[in-house]
Amino acid sequence: MKTVTKMGNRKRIKPKKLRKGDVVRAIDAGVKWEHIYFILEDQTEGNHVQCFSVCNLTGSKIPKGEHAFELSEYDLPEVWFKTKKPQTWLRCKDIKCIRKLQIIEELGNIIESHPKLWSDICRAFHSCRISEKFKNACDCEYEIIQREINLELYKEEDCECET
């Protein structure tokens, strides 16, 4: 969503701030085609060159040693995909980030529209402990997961995300 304000004779477009859980279509530098990304952090005030920590969806085979979670069992929105492949993986690299200018389209927020999927992703992050940035993305979820483990309501699963 964009807000238009008038400045003299010029119109200024004020883009919506990105926040944790936003689902976007973007092109990453060095990649030939668009991917779907989940933003893992809120946009900070006035920082237009910020590189946002992300995970991306892919239907491609995951290289050995990379972290990925299979999402094929979830009913993901068709609007996210131009061509949906038989398998869908959430790729999570510690160094992966995109800039706001690389974003082509905003597709909603996974935390709001698919809370169960987001919770399951956070449980996978909790089990794998790939990077501190994933803990930050799932801050409240991590507290709930840890409380459930402590109360023996939930058993922490083995990390099965590394290929």
Please list the pLDDT of the chain residue by residue as tens digits (163 residues): 454 445 555 554 456 788 889 999 998 777 778 889 998 888 877 655 578 888 888 888 888 877 788 888 888 998 898 888 888 988 877 667 888 878 889 999 998 999 888 888 887 776 676 666 666 777 666 676 667 766 666 666 655 555 4
45-79 pLDDT, tens digit per residue, is: 765 557 888 888 888 888 887 778 888 888 899 88
158 torsion bin: left (phi>0), alpha (psi -120 to 50), beta (else): beta
Overall size of the chain counted in residues: 163
Residue whose pair of structure tokens reads 């809370």 in the numeric block? 115
Our CA angle for 47, 125, 88, nearest 5°, is 90
Place of tokens 């997961």: 145
SS (H, E, C) the chain: CEEEEEECCEEEEEECCCCCCEEEEECCCCCCCCEEEEECCCCCCCCCCCEEEEEEEECCCCCCCCEEEECCCCCCCHHHCCCCCCCCEEECCCCCEEEHHHEEEEEEEHHHHCHHHHHHHHHHHHHHCCCHHHHHHCHHHHHHHHHHHHCCCCCCCCCCCEC
User: What percentage of residues in the chain have a pLDDT greater than 90?
Assistant: 9
User: By CB neighbour count within 10 A (0-12 exposed, 13-18 middle, 19+ buried), where does 28 fall?
Assistant: middle
